[in-house]
Amino acid sequence: MEPLIGLDYAGNITQFRHNDYDRAPLTHLNCDQVFKFYEAHRNLLEIIRRPEMEFCTKLKVGQMMVIDNQRVMHGRNAFHGKDRALVGCYIGRTEYESRLRVLGII
pLDDT tens figures, 14-41 = 888 888 777 778 899 999 999 999 999 9
Give the range of the structural domain holding residue 41, as residue numbers without chain letter: 5-102
User: How do residues 53-62 score in pLDDT, each as one tens digit?
Assistant: 998 888 888 8
The whole-angstrom distance between residue 99's C-alpha and the CA centroid of its chain comes to 23
Amino acid at 24: A
Domains contained in the chain, number: 1
Closest among 57, 63, 53 to 16, alpha carbons compared: 53
pLDDT: which is higher, 40 or 74: 40
- What is residue 73's three-state secondary structure? coil
Tell me the C-alpha distance between 77 and 85, whole Å.
14
Q: How many helices (H) and strands (E) does the chain have?
A: 2, 2
